[in-house]
Amino acid sequence: MIAKTRLFVTTDLAGGLSIGLEPSQAHYVKTVLRLGPGAEVALFNGRDGEWRGRVDGVGKGWCSVALYEQSRRQEPPGDLALVFAPLKRGRIDFLVEKATELGVAALHPVFTRRSVVERVNLDRLRANAIEAAEQCERLDVPAVAEPEPLERLMARWPAHRRLLLCDESGAAPPIAETLAAASGGAAAVLVGPEGGFAETELDALRKLPFVSPVGLGPRVLRADTAALAALSVLQALAGDWRRPRRR
Amino acid sequence: MIAKTRLFVTTDLAGGLSIGLEPSQAHYVKTVLRLGPGAEVALFNGRDGEWRGRVDGVGKGWCSVALYEQSRRQEPPGDLALVFAPLKRGRIDFLVEKATELGVAALHPVFTRRSVVERVNLDRLRANAIEAAEQCERLDVPAVAEPEPLERLMARWPAHRRLLLCDESGAAPPIAETLAAASGGAAAVLVGPEGGFAETELDALRKLPFVSPVGLGPRVLRADTAALAALSVLQALAGDWRRPRRR
């Protein structure tokens, strides 16, 4: 349930400050939400926690919010990454929204042998990530990296960072088995494009010491489904879903 | 990876039969896929397994497929259900697609106290389920039930059928904990509308002996995200993801 208006800003936040919103946010507050002076708004910037404030002035293209109380302290950032081949517009928007809700800290679009979608609108993906972070009560927004070839990202991947490869070949052990056997620590999920990885790509990935291929059941999943399913299981078994929700 | 054309039909399937496709499927085969006589097609009907066939005639609004070999035997149907409050158009389409890929056997739209979406286009939901079943290589299509009030469905719910209630109150134990403690058997997932369940509804649900409230981490999830995440974790820990994929 989304009970309050939460907005992501880039400026520093502290008690007593009056924060000027971006024109698009001001428009949203004034015209979409129809909030006026005195209305409650919460702001966060990924660094200073979440602050309660009240609209203290609003006009065409501008809105300022006077902060009066920190409602949540900043938490240490998560360490979950999603590496994915870009998808078509509706699906990639959806993937970014869901990955943000599921607690992904970094999104890495990568190009693979069978990638069909070659252009990535980073501004749109970042806007989706911000909107989802506002809605799901995160205190930070996932970073969306510049797209790059998969090989290049793998070449500089830290050896200690486990990468779960969503492997639809049928040869990988079930994801719950792999996660039960694995030790904790930073983790990431890798999904290929709709057409899947090329056989040579899969072979090369499986040889990387940090890659753990995982199976996601007997059906053929779309790339976005595989990503969300693997992230959910990872969070439930080895991530921050093991503690209950902050109230 | 979707390597072959799979089509769901309602007619019986057996070797030697020539099957006439529905006009919309014929159009799809002829105009979208541009298949002609001799092209390979696989058919399934939820009862007779999957059959290989070849297009043996195609014209405006019609197409017939001659079956020559059963490629997969019918498997016993799954027993996973999803009970959900209807969502807005894009999100409900997506939810049905994903639930089908994740192996849901029955979809139950229900009206709750805070339901905003009151009309459900069952024909569209069923078409989505069929398309997703064709793509994900299922041998059956999930049933989409008529929408009804949540209380009515709960009143006739079988006592042995565990229902995981996606509970965002923060009071529920983590989903992995609940699933680890539970015995196997039929299971289902229940998610509320975007606005969440009303407090009185939650109280009533928690009192039902077959309901197990589960927590899905520290963030506020949208209804569709919660449903897909809970289904994924359920399949991974207690469902058919525990065996590897058929190749």
Give residue A1's pLDDT band: very low, low, confident or very high (50, 70, 90).
very low
Q: What is the pLDDT of residues B114-146, one digit of tens each?
A: 988 888 999 999 999 999 999 999 999 999 999
pLDDT band for position B1 (cuts 50, 70, 90) = very low
Amino acid, res. B5: T
CB contact under 8 A, B137 and A168: no
Mode of pairing for the β-strands spanning B162-166 and B211-214: parallel
Q: Which residues pair with A66 in a beta bridge?
A: A18, A54
pLDDT given for residue A185 in this prediction: 67
Last residue of a domain, one of A72, A100, A116: A72
Question: Are B68 and B42 in the same domain?
Answer: yes
Same domain flag for B141 and B58: no
With beta carbons under 8 A apart, name residues in chain A contacting B230: 232
pTM assigned to the model: 0.94
- The alpha carbon of residue A48 is apart from the nearest alpha carbon of chain B, in Å, by 18
* Domain shared by B118 and B205, yes or no: yes
Q: A169: distance to nearest CA of chain B, Å?
A: 7
Judge whether B116 lies within some domain. Answer: yes
- Residue A1 is assigned to a structural domain of this protein: no
Give chain A positions within 8 Å (CB) of B235: 217, 229
Asked if B98 has any chain A CB less than 8 Å from its own CB, the reply is yes
A114 in Cβ contact with A192 (< 8 Å): yes
Indicate yes or no: CB of A241 within 8 angstroms of CB of B172.
no
Q: What does the radius of gyration of chain B's CA atoms come to, in whole angstroms?
A: 20
Query: For the residues A81-100, what does the mean pLDDT come to?
Result: 95
Asked if the structure places residue A120 within a domain, the reply is yes
B38, B100: one domain: no
Residue B198 in domain: yes
| Strands A18-20 and A62-72, bridge-based pairing | antiparallel
Q: What percent of chain A has pLDDT over 90?
A: 86
pLDDT confidence of B2, banded at 50, 70, 90? Answer: very low
**What is the structure's pLDDT at A115?**
86
Give me the CATH number covering residue B43.
2.40.240.20
Per DSSP, chain A holds a count of helices (H) and strands (E) of 7, 12
Tens digits of residue pLDDT in B178-228: 998 877 667 999 999 998 999 999 999 999 999 999 999 999 999 999 999
Q: Is the dihedral of CA B176, B182, B184, B185 positive or negative?
A: negative
Which residue range is the domain that position B225 belongs to?
80-242
Give the closest-approach CA distance of B178 to chain A in angstroms.
Answer: 11
Measured at the alpha carbon of residue A211, what is the angle toward residues A205 and A215, in degrees to the nearest 5?
90
Stretch A161-182: mean pLDDT, rounded?
91
Which chain B residues touch A90 with a CB distance below 8 Å?
Answer: 90
Domain co-membership, A105 together with A223: yes
Mean confidence (pLDDT) of chain B: 93
The domain total for chain A is 2
Q: Which of A113, A131, A219 best tests the B interface by mutation, with the highest count of B CBs <10 A?
A: A219
For residue B247, is it within any domain? Answer: no
pLDDT of residue B184: 65
* A85 and A31 in a common domain: no
CB contact under 8 A, B176 and A102: no
Residue A212 sits in the same domain as residue A103: yes
- Among A72, A106, A124, the domain-final residue is A72
Does residue B171 belong to any structural domain of this protein?
Answer: yes
What pLDDT is attached to residue B246?
59
Cβ within 8 Å, pair B237-A176: yes
Instruction: Inform me whether the pLDDT recorded for B150 exceeds 50.
Output: yes
Reading the block at residue A189, the tokens are 């999920």
> How confident is the model over B220-241, as a mean pLDDT?
95
A247: in domain: no
Tell me which of A89 and B131 has the higher pLDDT.
Answer: B131
Which of A1, A219, A225 is opposite residue B138, by nearest beta carbon? A219
The CA distance from B195 to A108, in Å, is 32
Q: What is the mean pLDDT of residues A171-176?
A: 93
Q: Smallest Cβ distance to B101: which of A135, A221, A244?
A: A221
Task: Clarify whether residues B90 and B12 are in a common domain.
Answer: no
The answer to whether the Cβ–Cβ distance between A246 and B176 falls below 8 Å is no
What is the structure's pLDDT at A246?
59
Is the per-residue pLDDT at A183 higher than 80?
no
Q: What is the pLDDT of residue A2?
A: 41
Co-location of B148 and B227 in the same domain: yes
**Closest residue of A to B219, CA-based?**
A136
Summarize the confidence of residues B39-57 as an average pLDDT: 96
The better pLDDT of the pair A120, A181 is held by A120
DSSP code for B237: H
User: Does one domain contain both A59 and A151?
Assistant: no
- Disruptive mutation site among B167, B245, B246, B247 for chain A (greatest number of A CBs within 10 Å): B245
Q: What is the CATH number of the domain that holds A184?
A: 3.40.1280.10
Which residue of B lies nearest to A173 if distances are taken between CA atoms? B244
Burial of B160 (C-beta count, 10 Å sphere; 0-12/13-18/19+): exposed
Q: Please say whether the beta carbons of B199 and B120 come within 8 A.
A: no
CB distance B2 to B36 below 8 Å: no
A180 in contact with B, Cβ within 8 Å = no
What pLDDT sits at residue B181? 84
Distance from CA of A54 to the nearest CA of B (A): 23
* Within-domain flag for A224: yes
* Residues of chain A contacting B87 with CB distance shorter than 8 Å: none
Work out how many CB contacts closer than 8 A connect A with B.
179
With an 8 Å Cβ cutoff, are B240 and A218 in contact? yes
| The two structure tokens encoding residue A197 | 């990885």
Residue A236 has pLDDT above 90, yes or no: yes
Among the three residues A46, A72, A98, which one is the final residue of a domain in this structure?
A72
Whether the predicted pLDDT of A222 surpasses 70: yes
Contact call for B222 and A135, based on CB within 8 A? yes
Q: Chain A interface, mutation test: which of B88, B102, B219, most A Cβ atoms within 10 Å?
A: B219
Give the helix/strand (H/E) hosting A19: strand A18-20
> With a CB-CB cutoff of 8 Å, which residues 46-75 of chain A face chain B?
none
Asked if B174's CB is within 8 angstroms of A98's CB, the reply is no
A54: which strand partners? Answer: A40, A66
Is B197 in contact with B112 (CB distance < 8 Å)?
A: yes
**B85 and B185 assigned to the same domain:** yes
Residues B116, B213 within the same domain? yes
Angle between helices A122-136 and A89-101 (to 10 degrees): 40
B64-116 pLDDT per residue, tens = 999 999 999 999 888 999 999 999 988 999 999 999 999 999 999 999 999 88
